[in-house]
Chains A and B, each alone.
Chain A
Amino acid sequence: MLLHVNPASGVPTYLQIETQVKHYIAAGALGPGDALPSVRKLAADLRISTNTVARAYQDLERDGVLRTVQGGRTYVGENPGSFLKSERVRRLRPYARQIAVEGTQLRLDPHEIMELVEQELKALEEVNEQSGNLDRETG
């Protein structure tokens, strides 16, 4: 099982699912056309309400990350990160603001904050490269 949730956390369960699906796509572990478990299957595996999984899938479909075909099977979309750039920027802005606020409160200077973000970007890039290499080796 790829996904895990912690219902006791303060983060809504559907958001935990959305974040993880997006993360797996960003990291290359899920790609265009990969199938996701049905709402019922995933809900049963995670022991959470089917409505919660349905809500997560609906949000991800609305964002173009997932698509559901006739018959109800759900796949990663062809171009999961492709929704409009302005929309993507709008989505990311709260996180950028949070990093700015938290970083300033922790008395880090702007340069140090930027450096941290760059490190994370670099780490993500490396993960992507590794999974790319793996694909080539196994393929």
Chain B
Amino acid sequence: MNNQAIWTEKLVKTYPGVRAVDGLSLNVPRGVAYGFLGRNGAGKTSTIRILLGLARPSEGRGTVLGFAVGREQVAILERTAFVSESKTLYGGLTPRELVRFTRGFYPNWSDDAVGKYSRLFEIPMDRPFSKLSQGNRTKVYLLLALAQGADLLILDEPGMGLDPVVVDEFLRVLVEDVLGEGRTVFISSHQLADVEQIADWVGLIDHGRLLLEARLDDIKNRFRWVTVTGNGLPQTKSPEVLLVATEGSFHKYLVTKDAEAFAAELEGQGATIAGVSPLGLREIFLALVRKEEPCTSGNVGEIAEAVSSPLP
């Protein structure tokens, strides 16, 4: 049906009093490093739980590696490795025992990988899991995930409790051994810096809705702050103008493409252009998440399409 690593259509998950996921349509191409970014409580973990069959969607549908979410869950779980945010494993078992316990479930399991990564991450393999530090627990999860030989690695807040040196080692492993093999990495996080480092695609989620999905470099190529002064200037948003803000006598427009043409048009309406400047992921994230109303889901698709189309 589709060749995406992850695909969802209008996914909804309601809990009493909350719409945790609110009409989410994701397109994660195969072989990319996808940063799934949002604040705590934005709906990231709920989405992942649905994809893995740990929760049932209230509405909508999706596929993981081409297999239907909910109906072909065994096929999905065999090919997908998951590092969860809450590190709850059988506390009495040592990492070595956990490896023995886990390996039988996965057809592509690699004992070589266990040896390699247990050394690289310096994991105490014979100490009970319950006695391990938060960082070492995370490393055990990463070890089990990497040894699965999965086509898709889903990491939910993977950096939790890891020191910068281990994070750096881990990024190298993700690039060389996972992306380098054409596999897909899906990282859910609110830590923009680590994700921005490795991701080539990003999806921004807030209040269960997707604000933006595009190749990161395309965003950087095309998204611009256009800062102007002048009277009677347009204040309306559109797929090309994500945000209009006023600071003192300046109007700032967050433009998703053709910023130069947009600026020229404003100039034609009597505006004085103070500047056209690129912005990083962090600024885009803050600008989009801070405003009261996310742009309507109808617009999001157009934007994602517009910015992901090939460059001229």
Interface residues of A (CB under 8 A from B): 7-15, 40, 43-45, 47-52, 55
B220 surroundings in chain A (CB, below 8 A): 10-13
A10 surroundings in chain B (CB, below 8 A): 220, 277-280
Q: Let me know if B175 and A43 touch, CB within 8 A.
A: yes
**Distance between A29 CB and nearest chain B CB, rounded to angstroms:** 25
A8 surroundings in chain B (CB, below 8 A): 193, 196, 280-282
Interface size class on chain B is 20 to 34
Q: Let me know if B175 and A49 touch, CB within 8 A.
A: yes
Q: Let me know if B175 and A44 touch, CB within 8 A.
A: yes
B193 surroundings in chain A (CB, below 8 A): 8
Top 7 nearest A-B pairs (CB, nearest first) are: A10-B278, A12-B217, A44-B176, A49-B200, A47-B171, A40-B180, A12-B220
- From the candidates B32, B171, B180, B280, name the one contacting A9 in the complex (CB within 8 A): B280
Q: Which of B168-204 contact A (CB under 8 A)?
A: 168, 171-172, 175-176, 179-180, 193, 196-200
Contact with A along B260-288 (1 / 0, CB 8 A): 00000000000000000111111000000
**Distance between A22 CB and nearest chain B CB, rounded to angstroms:** 17
**Distance between A122 CB and nearest chain B CB, rounded to angstroms:** 30
Interface residues of B (CB under 8 A from A): 31-33, 168, 171-172, 175-176, 179-180, 193, 196-200, 216-218, 220-221, 277-282
**Distance between A56 CB and nearest chain B CB, rounded to angstroms:** 10
**Distance between A137 CB and nearest chain B CB, rounded to angstroms:** 37
Q: How far is the CA of A51 from the CA of B185 in the complex (A)?
A: 12
Q: How far is the CA of A45 from the CA of B280 in the complex (A)?
A: 22
Q: Let me know if A48 and B172 touch, CB within 8 A.
A: no
Q: Let me know if B217 and A40 touch, CB within 8 A.
A: no
Q: Identify the closest chain A residue to B219 (Cβ).
A: A12
Q: Identify the closest chain B residue to A49 (Cβ).
A: B200
Given A10-B277, A10-B280, A52 and B217 contact (CB-CB distance below 8 Å): yes
Q: Let me know if B196 and A14 touch, CB within 8 A.
A: no
Number of residue pairs across A and B with beta carbons under 8 Å? 66
Q: Let me know if A47 and B180 touch, CB within 8 A.
A: no
Q: Let me know if B168 and A47 touch, CB within 8 A.
A: yes
Q: Identify the closest chain B residue to A40 (Cβ).
A: B180
Ordered by A's residue number, 15 sampled pairs between the chains whose C-beta atoms are within 8 Å are A8-B193, A8-B281, A9-B280, A10-B220, A10-B279, A11-B278, A12-B221, A13-B220, A15-B221, A47-B168, A48-B197, A49-B198, A49-B199, A50-B180, A51-B179
B199 surroundings in chain A (CB, below 8 A): 49
Given A15-B217, A55-B217, A50 and B282 contact (CB-CB distance below 8 Å): no
Given A8-B196, A15-B217, A48 and B31 contact (CB-CB distance below 8 Å): no
Q: Let me know if A49 and B279 touch, CB within 8 A.
A: no
**Distance between A98 CB and nearest chain B CB, rounded to angstroms:** 11
B278 surroundings in chain A (CB, below 8 A): 10-11
- From the candidates A7, A12, A14, A49, name the one contacting B32 in the complex (CB within 8 A): A49
Q: Identify the closest chain B residue to A13 (Cβ).
A: B217
**Distance between A55 CB and nearest chain B CB, rounded to angstroms:** 7
**Distance between B191 CB and nearest chain A CB, rounded to angstroms:** 12
Q: How far is the CA of A94 from the CA of B278 in the complex (A)?
A: 16
Q: Let me know if B198 and A14 touch, CB within 8 A.
A: no
B33 surroundings in chain A (CB, below 8 A): 49, 51
- From the candidates B175, B218, B282, name the one contacting A48 in the complex (CB within 8 A): B175
**Distance between A91 CB and nearest chain B CB, rounded to angstroms:** 13
A43 surroundings in chain B (CB, below 8 A): 175-176, 179-180
**Distance between A9 CB and nearest chain B CB, rounded to angstroms:** 6
Q: How far is the CA of A3 from the CA of B278 in the complex (A)?
A: 22
B279 surroundings in chain A (CB, below 8 A): 10
A40 surroundings in chain B (CB, below 8 A): 175-176, 180
B172 surroundings in chain A (CB, below 8 A): 44-45, 47
Q: Identify the closest chain A residue to B29 (Cβ).
A: A51
B176 surroundings in chain A (CB, below 8 A): 40, 43-44
**Distance between A86 CB and nearest chain B CB, rounded to angstroms:** 17
B179 surroundings in chain A (CB, below 8 A): 43, 49-51
**Distance between A82 CB and nearest chain B CB, rounded to angstroms:** 23
Q: How far is the CA of A44 from the CA of B33 in the complex (A)?
A: 13
Q: Let me know if B197 and A51 touch, CB within 8 A.
A: no
